[in-house]
Amino acid sequence: MKHKRLEAMLWGAFYGDAYALGTHWIYDTDQIKNANLDFSACQDPISSYHPTKKSGDFTHYGDQMFWLLENIAEEKKFSLVSFGETWNKYMQNYTGYMDGASKHTFDKLENSSNYLACGSSSSDLSVISRMFPIIFKHHGSLLELQESIKLHTIFTHMNKDLLDAAAFFSEVMIAVLNGADLSATINESSKHFGVNIQEWTLQAREALPLNPDEAIRKLGQSCSVNGGFASTIYLLLKYQNDFALALKENVMAGGDSAARGMIVGAVLGAINYDKVLHGAYINQINKHSEIKNLIKELL
């Protein structure tokens, strides 16, 4: 059962990104509601941020997660130097969106900075969203896992709140992979992290009576972990047994839905693994054949 949860975690993260592509970074929820989109499947992007993309593609977050999975499959482990080389190689001719953190890291590497000193000060949640291939490979060793996630985070994002949040979500993910109750795990794990993690978790719980549009607008639609973390926790707690509805409400709430969607997709994918692995989600992803082959290499 655990290997199914692991596979569904990865597919859920990839689908959460591809599904969000259509409305990614549209903050006006009325615009999303009035766009006459088919929310039962992935969509072509309707914003101006992803002009080179089409339905079933990834945002730049999902692309970087794919590079990470590809590199781990080749190396049979996470290596910061090896992933850094792969990441830099792909970025040389990348035609997707390059966010501020990626541009900072890319520029640093062009000036020969080492991989431990090229991270930006960005607080974008997206670096956490792309970490799931590391969990897939290193879930059996917590020490290896936490060290790898830390190095992966600081490669592009040198930010303490993100380090705490990445450790938190990896701990929650491991518990879920082992069949733990999600709500109880979030409640217990949040006690062992900093004040911000505890406060953001409390804010998410207090927002549960609100509808998702109102809640995420209140908690935070944007890219920052300050807001994005609470909005993600809200979605996880509100829809923990409904993978499809969680992702739909996530994109309908607007903003950086891809970063939230990847985490929500991964965690709820692992919980609802049968629906994810046997549903129509996988074949909507344009790189599904490549991902299947990479997963086989790692099993």
What pLDDT digit, counting tens, does each position of 132-182 carry? 999 999 999 989 999 999 999 999 999 999 999 999 999 999 999 999 999
Q: How far apart are CA 16 and CA 265, in angstroms?
A: 5
The model carries a pTM of 0.98
Lowest mean pLDDT among 35-44, 198-207, 256-265: 35-44
- Are the CB atoms for 228 and 259 separated by under 8 Å? yes
Domain chopping of the chain, boundaries: 2-298
Q: Which of 48, 21, 33, 19 is nearest to 253 (CA)?
A: 33
Q: Count the Cβ atoms, other than its own, within 10 Å of residue 208.
A: 11
Give the CATH architecture of domain 2-298: Orthogonal Bundle (1.10)
pLDDT at position 273: 96
Which phi and psi angles does 49 have, rounded to 5°? -80, -20
Q: How far apart are CA 295 and CA 291, in angstroms?
A: 6
Which phi and psi angles does 124 have, rounded to 5°? -65, 130
* Strand extents, DSSP E, 105-211: none
Average pLDDT over every residue of 21-40: 96
Structure tokens at 49: 């941020």
Average pLDDT over every residue of 82-94: 97
Average pLDDT over every residue of 262-267: 98
pLDDT at position 113: 79
What mean pLDDT, rounded, does the chain reach?
A: 96
pLDDT at position 1: 67
Structure tokens at 190: 């949040």
